[in-house]
Amino acid sequence: MADLNAGDSIPEVKVTPDKYLPHRYAGASGDFNPIHIDNDFATMVGLPRNILHGLYSMAQVARAQTEAAGGDPRSLRRLKVQFRGMGVPEEEIVVTGTVRERDGDTVIVDTEATQAGNGIIRNAEAEIELR
Amino acid sequence: MPVNTEAIGKEYPSVTYEVGSEKIREYADAVGETGDVHRDREAAEAAGFRDVVAPPMFVVVYSSKALAPAILDPEVGINFATMVHGGQEFVWGEPVCSGDTITTTAKVTDISEKDGKGFYVFESTSTNQDGDEVVRATWTNIVRGV
């Protein structure tokens, strides 16, 4: 069982979504909004390029929590995030987190995801159950 | 123009989704969830699941179709040109496994305005075929220049 206590950092998760990741995620999730999969459309509406799905980035934050807890998908009980900035393909995402408090087997983690130092998911709070 | 708050409390028809193991695998591949429990029935059963288990964030696959009519509702009145997905919260219950039938119901919980931005908050609840809650979700969309 993973041991996480107040002040501990959770192991970082680093992933670089490739150029075609938004297309695969669109197919997997069912979200085909063209801002994610059509570079021409995205630039036409004023974005720098096609952007990542926010819920893909949130899934990386979620994965960091379950991995920190030892890999059991049941360990993630709650996750609350704010989407800020825009995630883009072909740039490394780094998920970090710090344990705020622990009560028995329940752990609260303050966590975020950044790309090149810019927050794409901020003020996120996860509740993990160690089991 | 002030936001229209009349739709607060409005509920939408529930949507049912049948969970399959290949969809779980496709989703797990896309988000980088590499665990055997998302791919292999024997591994999942050995870990105490009924069948191949979905990663927690698979919630987007079975619940978004229930949210769409709420977000698109003209009575709610979201301007999509300036909408961003502002925030998200999920509270998980029973794990979701291949073979489950998940029913999701969505409603509008709040519409408000602050500093020229509209905040549209939706809640969805998903239950499995046994009536157990699998997830409760809060979706917040922000619209600039309301």
- pLDDT tens, residue by residue, B107-136: 999 999 999 999 999 999 999 999 999 999
Contacts of A29 in chain B (CB under 8 A): 27, 30, 60-61, 64
Contact A25 B90 (CB under 8 A): no
Across the A:B interface, residue pairs with CB atoms under 8 Å apart total 89
Say whether B64 and A72 touch across the interface (CB within 8 A).
no
Q: A24 to chain B: nearest residue by CA?
A: B30
Q: What confidence tens digit (pLDDT) does each residue in A60-88 have?
A: 999 999 999 999 999 999 999 999 889 99
ipTM for the complex? 0.96
- Residues in chain A whose beta carbon is closer than 8 A to a beta carbon of chain B? 15, 21, 24-25, 27-31, 54-56, 58-60, 62-63, 66, 71-74, 76-83
- Chain A residue with CA closest to B134: the answer is A77
CA distance B31 to chain A (A): 7
Helices (H), chain A: 21-29, 34-37, 39-44, 54-68
pLDDT surpassing 70 at residue B1: no
Please tell me the distance from the alpha carbon of residue B42 to that of residue A117, in angstroms, as a whole number. 41
| List of domains in chain A | 13-129 (3.10.129.10)
- Can you give the pTM of this predicted structure? 0.96
Taking the C-alpha atoms of residue B124 and residue B136, their distance in angstroms, rounded to an integer, is 6
CB B138 within 8 A of CB B52: no
Encode chain A (131 residues) as per-residue pLDDT tens digits. Answer: 578 999 999 999 999 999 999 999 999 999 999 999 999 999 998 889 999 999 999 999 999 999 999 999 999 999 999 998 899 999 999 999 999 999 999 999 999 999 999 999 999 999 999 98
Res. B81 pLDDT band, cuts 50 70 90: confident
Q: Among all residues of chain A, which has the CA nearest to that of B55?
A: A73
Nearest residue of chain A to residue B142 (CA atoms): A83
> How many residues in total does chain A contain?
131
What residue segments make up the domains of chain B, in order of their start?
A: 15-19+58-144
Among chain A residues, the shortest Cα distance to B141 is held by A83
Is the Cβ pair A82, B57 closer than 8 Å?
no
Per CATH, is B15-19+58-144 categorized as 3.10.129.10?
yes
Contact B60 A80 (CB under 8 A): no
Instruction: For residue A17, list its beta bridge partners.
Output: none
Contact B119, B142 (CB under 8 A): yes
How near does any CA of chain A get to the CA of B128, in Å? 16
Q: Is B145 on the interface with A (CB under 8 A)?
A: no
Query: Which residues, 6 or more positions from A108, have their beta carbon under 8 angstroms from its beta carbon?
Result: A99, A100, A101, A102, A125, A126, A127, A128
**Residue B60 contacts A where some CB pair is shorter than 8 Å:** yes
Nearest to B72 by CA among B63, B62, B83, B61: B83
